[in-house]
Amino acid sequence: MTTYPTQVLQELLWIWADNSPTAFEDSTLKQSVLIPEFQLDSSATDWFMSEVPVGYTISFESSFDPSHAQFLHNGIAGFSPERAIPIKHFEIFGEISAENGFTLKHSGYNIFNKDMDATRQFTPPCSNTTIYKYSNGKSALFQLYFVPTEPGYCKHIGKFITDTFPQKRNFWFELLPKYLQTGLRHSSSYKLSNQDLSMMHSQAVNESLGDKPWQKSYFMRSFADIGIVTFRKWLDEFAGGKPAWQGMKEVPFQELSDEQLYDIWHRHTKHCPSCRQSLVLIDKVKAFCQNFTAVLAILGLLLIVVNVPTKIVLIPVLLSLLSLICSYKLGLIRERFISSVPKKGLPVVDLYT
């Protein structure tokens, strides 16, 4: 059996992908790229992981382009083209190296964060640590890992921590099992990631149709492009321009259908214990509601047959209707764990309502 050095740090499983005789010794000489010591509590929020049908390079590029949020994510978290402002400065801080990557510093990109100082630290091969420091003393930290799993697929692992927006507490929601709370939060957050997927997949399609190097394929002369250009240059100079696959053969790019692109089960649910448990519970409650509806309907018919007063008959009838509605609503919630493509009506993913 093949074994690899592993350890659990900051609730993540880290693997040293080498099974040579010196692997365990070698792994102790290299520190994992963790969330840095900061004024925010890194345990305040959970990690989120998705395996998306978009490659490593395009996935990483998106995290170095903050200005896209005002346009691509219009309507979410206050993002809007009307609130966008030009990035005044975006520069490389310090040296660029194969081992340590690079650090970027830039100013704000909307009317709410125009006075902030942002730092984006790329640590090869997979980490982007982004810190926003606002003029009012508040801050935010984004820890992102992009792990290529196979050609055209990449695991996105992330955590967002901030003291800018106090979390609203819901008494009734907090009565639910912890795993169900997590699952419901996850299932309600796919609109933003679907918008990202739509854009990134379109970029992959465009790149597959061209035969020019990236420098000649795009016009990138604004400050907002410096992050992407720096990452591409690092990739070309130190990493051969793209991930090197071991034991895998790259196949020609194939455009995905909406059913493949917006699939939630394979992207996240099957990997997430909380979402899988939530799905099992929802199925059990949904099945109970369906059976309860049938029992109440039969009871109502029997009461009618034996000529019971109408007011009494209405009780099981109304309860059966409520149970039927509950079953229907649970079915809609269940679908959010499986796919973003609606089962009813037109099978079109609505990204902006």
Beta bridge partners of residue 240, listed in sequence order: none
Q: What is the DSSP letter of 209?
A: H
pLDDT band at 56 (very low <50, low <70, confident <90, very high): very high
Give the distance between the most distant pair of CA atoms in the chain: 88
Query: Do residues 160 and 45 lie in contact, with contact meaning Cβ atoms separated by under 8 Å?
Result: yes
pLDDT in tens, 208-237: 887 888 888 888 888 889 999 999 999 999
Tell me whether the omega of the peptide bond preceding residue 347 falls within 30 degrees of 0, making it cis.
no
Characterize the bridge pairing of strands 12-15 and 6-9: antiparallel
Burial classification of residue 3, based on how many CB atoms lie within 10 Å of its CB (0-12 exposed, 13-18 middle, 19 or more buried): exposed
pLDDT value at position 81? 94
| CATH of region 33-245+252-264 | 3.90.380
The proportion of the chain whose per-residue pLDDT surpasses 70, expressed as a percent, equals 99
Q: Read off the tokens for 90.
A: 């975006």
Residue 77 confidence (pLDDT)? 84
- What dihedral do alpha carbons 170, 173, 176, 180 form, nearest 10°? -120
Domain range annotation of the chain: 1-32, 33-245+252-264, 274-335
- Mean of the pLDDT values across residues 194-200? 96
Q: What are phi and psi of 150, to 5 degrees?
A: -165, 165
Residue 196 pLDDT class (50, 70, 90 cuts):
very high
**Amino acid, single-letter form, for residue 323:** S
Q: What is the pLDDT of residues 285-331, one digit of tens each?
A: 999 999 999 999 999 899 888 888 888 889 999 999 999 999 999 99
